[in-house]
Amino acid sequence: MARPDGRTPKQLRPVTISRNWLRHAEGSALIEFGDTRVLCAASVEDGVPRWRRGTGEGWVTAEYAMLPRSTDTRGARESVKGKIGGRTHEISRLVGRSLRAVIDFKAMGEHTITLDCDVLQADGGTRTAAITGAYVALADAMKHLRKKRNLKRNPLTGSVAAVSVGIIQGQPRLDLNYLEDSVAQTDMNVVVTGEGEFIEVQGTAEGAPFDRAGLDQLLDLAVGGCAELTEIQKKALAG
């Protein structure tokens, strides 16, 4: 049972990271997981949200969105509809939470970094590409902040990568594209640190409930995929 693009079950799509794709942002990356293309921009601002003021700690947050024609059929613009949909909200929260897991907020001081992850083209795995690309933009923004504010410690305590995995006709597969995603029985998004520990595990039964064995297989696959992504991030940041 071949995959639609000829990959082996454990194979990632071609991944490219174009670092500093934007001129104004303190950190940025255009990341591609195959045809999925997400523009990640990190903005450094002085100060923190009201509820965090006076704590001496920083904040990292994220906003995810899709351009109207990133998808096969045009979607209505959320700004025009006047409200943000549940899926957008959910993914924005996931991206922010994932990145905050590797931040030493005390070391940051009262600064805020906002990660804007805008999907220019979608072919499955946009949220995992967003997290993986956002980390690169964040790393550059943090470097900028350290220098500018002369921070003693590095507020980044690790790296973060994410990948989707799923079971299709009984077969566990890594990094699903849209075609695969829409027929998967089980779908899981896994966020892993550079050291292979879990930050977030979100598994969902799409068709039928899944058992512990399936869950275990998917986790193995995801940990392997994230290790590869970690290497690609390192190369991009070394470039």
Binding-site sequence positions: 87, 125-127
Minimum Å gap between C-beta 119 and a second copy is 11
Q: Report d(CA 199, CA 159) in Å as an integer.
A: 11
Residue 5: left if φ>0, alpha if ψ -120 to 50, beta else—which one? alpha
Residue 18 binds a second copy (CB under 8 A)? no
Residue 199 binds a second copy (CB under 8 A)? yes
CA 151 to chain centroid: 26
Q: Report d(CA 209, CA 214) in Å as an integer.
A: 10
Q: Which of 143, 88, 144 is nearest to 116 (CA)?
A: 88
Residue 217 binds a second copy (CB under 8 A)? no
The residue within the footprint of a second copy, chosen from 132, 193, 230, 233 (CB under 8 A), is: 193
Minimum Å gap between C-beta 49 and a second copy is 13
Residue 69 binds a second copy (CB under 8 A)? yes
Stretch that binds a second copy, among 77-85, 103-111, 127-135, 169-177 (CB under 8 A): 77-85
Residue 129 binds a second copy (CB under 8 A)? no
3-state secondary structure of 13: coil
Q: Which is nearer to a second copy, 8 or 86 (CB)?
A: 86
Q: Which of 64, 61, 179, 194 is nearest to 126 (CA)?
A: 64
Phi, psi dihedral angles at 86 (to 5 degrees): -60, -40
Q: Which is nearer to a second copy, 65 or 168 (CB)?
A: 65
The residue within the footprint of a second copy, chosen from 101, 227, 232, 237 (CB under 8 A), is: 101
Residue 120 binds a second copy (CB under 8 A)? yes
Q: Which residues are annotated as a binding site for phosphate?
A: 87, 125-127
Residue 197 binds a second copy (CB under 8 A)? yes
Q: Report d(CA 180, CA 187) in Å as an integer.
A: 10
Angle at 195 between CA 193 and CA 199, to 5 degrees: 30
CA 46 to chain centroid: 24
Interacting residue ranges for a second copy, rule: CB under 8 A? 22-25, 28, 35, 39, 41, 43, 45, 63, 65, 67-74, 77-90, 92-93, 97, 101, 114, 116, 118, 120-121, 123, 158, 188, 193, 195, 197-205, 208-212, 215, 219
